[in-house]
Structure 1
Amino acid sequence: MNQVGMKKIFLISEYILPTQNTTGYLFHKLHKNLKQQYGDNLKVLVKEDPIHKIEDAILVADVNLNKKKLTQRLFFELVISLKFLIKILKHVGKGDVVFTGTTPIFLLPIVYVAKKIKKFNWILLVHDVFPENLIAANVLKSNNPFYKILKFLFDRFYAEADKRIVIGQDMKELIDDKVGKSDSIIIQNWIDHHDIEIQEKNNILNELGWQSEQPIFYFFGNIGRVQGIHNIIQALKILPVGQRPKVLFIGSGAYEHELKDQINRLNDKNVQYIGSLDPSKKSDGLNAGDIAIVTLAEGMYGLGVPSKAYYSMAADKPLLAIMEEKSEIVSMVEKHTIGWSVSAGDPQALADLFLEICQNFNTKELSSSRKVLIENYSEQIAMKKIVNVIEEVRLSK
């Protein structure tokens, strides 16, 4: 690509390292591919990591606060976003292309303000929809005046982007309605299947004494407020001891203490929680069972698409999708026959499905989820689409 006189492209993210979290993994892959495409014209503006050094980037100093506590998280979001604003105003020029995600939350108003001042072009990759996700997380009520103010403002922030990339059809419907335009571009999350190993029964199951058991359901990922973990526990409570399936929880998050308490109350060896794993052991966690539970709380339609689904597909695991009908993951599971689905917020239906799966697991004919991932949701497919969006914006003005 001829780079003479070419405007710069800024990749702006809170996370950029694959070991940080899913956002870090996705933006790391994005950076790697865009660097090959744009060379020195690609610039990275990212929050520093307290452990790992980030090379060849414009760094934003971190803020050391406990983000599991809502008040400290709010202060963190405000301060870190202001630091991003200073860096953006200093480095981004008129006509440049800015590519961001949706974290930190207040990055959106910061980019909105900076865009008005510097006149750059903005591509927004939407992973979370704010403040609507506060309703699903039971942080605010929809009739709360503060929520209404936030929604009024953030609708305009989202609408300011020149292009909006969403990660599912359900999210497209929500975002298009939010901004009053029908132009959101669907590009599903991407996973490099080479990063995930396929293992036989592993050490995690050996330590639990489950190496010969089948089927084993597992939840691996963020144990947060919108994951719908409570619904799973309620379904297990409905089933009598002796009929409950083996369910393993792996991960950490705001709901983990409640999860521990609920599992202790169940007092059933079939339901276990082992905490989080080091990121280097991701493949171990993704192979610690036969069926991957992918869940979102009731009311999360269009507000997010769990990336853990694609990771589990890379490990060639069928999915149990617990979320609202016609959600992106439910549609994918049904279209490609790679698992089961049940509505969120219906523990009785989930309990019944647990029993049905256990009875018919060895006779159920399913497609290879890893093959489906490679053919439909690969890194190469997503990157080609993203570069097309960047080029369209870069050449339009």
Structure 2
Amino acid sequence: MKKKVVILAEFIGENHNSTAYYWSQITKYLNGDYEIVLIVPENEHSLAFASKYNIKTRFVKIAVHNKNNLLSRLLGQVKQTMSFLSVIKEEVYSADLLFSGTNPIVTMASLAVLKLRYKYQWLVLVHDVFPNNLIPAQVLSENSFFYKVLIYLSKKMYSSPDSLICIGRDMKTLLQEKTGSCEKIYYIPNWASTEKIPSLEKADNEIINDLGWQNQIVYQFFGNMGRLQGMDNLLKAIQLSKHKQARYLFIGCGSEADYVKKTLEKINNESGYEKIFFYGPLDLEKNHIGLSACDVSLVTLSGNMFGLGVPSKAYFSMAADKPILYVGDNNSELSILLSEYQVGWACEAAKPTLLAEQLDNVTDTLQMSDTPLMQPRKCLIDNFSETLALTKIKRVVNTMMVS
């Protein structure tokens, strides 16, 4: 008789977002060996996924909210959590394992409280560390009383799961400090599928051809333009950069998108030519086209993000065979990765002048005919493949089943 694993996911679906993609692959991989019960909000992506793979699913009503408004987001998380808990209580008593993420954070906090009563085995995949992420987002002050209270409560919350899987070595260090233990924390990095993301030549890219940038060195920012992505630092650096052969492409959306559009217009006017182009959101089925529309992928974070997150776009860019220019804290996961593998460059966060120099230097380097060939896609296949990551996750689940 197969053991029962309840998977609780905020998003699921192979063509929704990166979080949904990761949970989709995990669910499919575990489905053969375990009795899977999936708990997810009902939408077109979750309905299609459950139907396509014939996975037993408990759908809950989705709590619609404005994620860019803090109050709306909090109320939405509370509503979503109430929907989740009504179903979890029915399933968890007969489950051998509950497998969930850190979002919504209100749900994770509620599961920690619920565990006091139901005593279930709990595995958490950590993508964010709360409330530490509120500091770089400038939501709270590190010295505020409320923040100190949240830090105290978060230590209890992150200590509640029986095991944690984190996606960065810097994140593991932070979680060890928070929980006081390293034995139950597993480091398993993010991954990307080379089947879903092919390697395409920049010269054949429709976006590049429409812009007429075939002979320029193109830097691309792809994905969420949010509070924690260090957009201000990146734009200031682009403004300060001097190389006339460099072009900058922004694909995506987010809370900072309007600021990006307004600022790039100013930079273009000052430059006297179209130095930057704002493409905006891209249809999901065309993500691979967006990822290949560059020579270098820009992966940026705000300062003080050590241990708080690892941008999945870095791995998707590697799958597209694009080198990375990472902007973030020293000794963070991507900084370590770039020191181990020759697949790009790193620059410290919140230093626009330094980044501007780096952009100009990389542009010079890429124009040289004898530049050593980087192989990001091969690096991903060898070290960050989907199969490697899923095998490690399954091993953690198996270990918990026999413990």
Give the TM-score taking structure 2 as reference length: 0.93
Cα shift readout 1:188-240 (whole Å, capped 9, x = no counterpart): 01212111021123111112121232x21001011110011111111122235
1:355 to 343, 360, 365: 360
Report how far residue 254 of structure 1 moved: 1.0
CA distance in 2, matches of 1:327, 1:92: 36
Report how far residue 243 of structure 1 moved: 3.8
State whether structure 2 residue 294 is matched by structure 1 residue 292: no
CA distance in 1, matches of 2:109, 2:246: 46
State whether structure 2 residue 250 is matched by structure 1 residue 249: yes
User: After alignment, is 56-65 or 246-255 more displaced?
Assistant: 56-65
Match for residue 181 of structure 2?
A: 181
- Secondary structure of 2:303's aligned partner: coil
CA distance in 2, matches of 1:79, 1:143: 30
Match for residue 346 of structure 1?
A: 351
Match for residue 190 of structure 1?
A: 191
CA distance in 2, matches of 1:50, 1:315: 27
2:315 to 310, 313, 316: 310
- Secondary structure of 1:331's aligned partner: helix
Match for residue 45 of structure 1?
A: 39
Match for residue 229 of structure 2?
A: 227
Match for residue 58 of structure 1?
A: 58
Match for residue 388 of structure 1?
A: 395
2:30 to 25, 34, 54: 34
Match for residue 126 of structure 1?
A: 126
Match for residue 262 of structure 1?
A: 263
CA distance in 1, matches of 2:332, 2:277: 28
Match for residue 164 of structure 2?
A: 164
Report how far residue 94 of structure 1 moved: 5.2
Report how far residue 64 of structure 1 moved: 2.0
- Secondary structure of 2:280's aligned partner: coil
CA distance in 1, matches of 2:213, 2:315: 25
- Secondary structure of 1:321's aligned partner: strand
CA distance in 1, matches of 2:95, 2:214: 58
- Secondary structure of 1:193's aligned partner: coil
* Partner AA of 2:152 in structure 1: F
In percent, how many aligned pairs have the same letter?
A: 37
Match for residue 214 of structure 2?
A: 211
Match for residue 333 of structure 1?
A: 338
Match for residue 7 of structure 1?
A: 3
Match for residue 383 of structure 2?
A: 376
Structure 1 stretches of at least 4 aligned residues deviating more than 3 Å after TM superposition:
none
Report how far residue 380 of structure 1 moved: 0.9
CA distance in 2, matches of 1:132, 1:233: 25
Match for residue 142 of structure 1?
A: 142
- Secondary structure of 1:136's aligned partner: coil
CA distance in 1, matches of 2:97, 2:149: 29
- Secondary structure of 1:359's aligned partner: helix
Cα shift readout 1:57-90 (whole Å, capped 9, x = no counterpart): 1111111222222211111011101211111111
* Partner AA of 2:78 in structure 1: L
Answer whether contact 2:326 2:346 (CA < 8 A) is retained.
yes
Answer whether contact 1:244 1:270 (CA < 8 A) is retained.
no
Report how far residue 51 of structure 1 moved: 6.2
* Partner AA of 1:330 in structure 2: S
Give the TM-score taking structure 1 as reference length: 0.94
* Partner AA of 2:356 in structure 1: A
CA distance in 2, matches of 1:229, 1:67: 18
Report how far residue 22 of structure 1 moved: 0.6
Cα shift readout 1:151-180 (whole Å, capped 9, x = no counterpart): 211211111010011111111001110111
Answer whether contact 1:305 1:329 (CA < 8 A) is retained.
yes
CA distance in 1, matches of 2:256, 2:42: 27
Match for residue 365 of structure 1?
A: 372
Match for residue 320 of structure 1?
A: 325
Answer whether contact 1:50 1:62 (CA < 8 A) is retained.
no
Match for residue 109 of structure 1?
A: 109
Report how far residue 244 of structure 1 moved: 7.2
- Going from structure 1 to structure 2, the CA distance change for 1:376 and 1:369 (only over 3 Å counts) comes to same
Unaligned runs of 5+ in 2: 51-55
* Partner AA of 1:338 in structure 2: V
CA distance in 1, matches of 2:303, 2:123: 29
Give the total of aligned pairs. 388
Unaligned runs of 5+ in 1: none
Answer whether contact 2:40 2:46 (CA < 8 A) is retained.
no
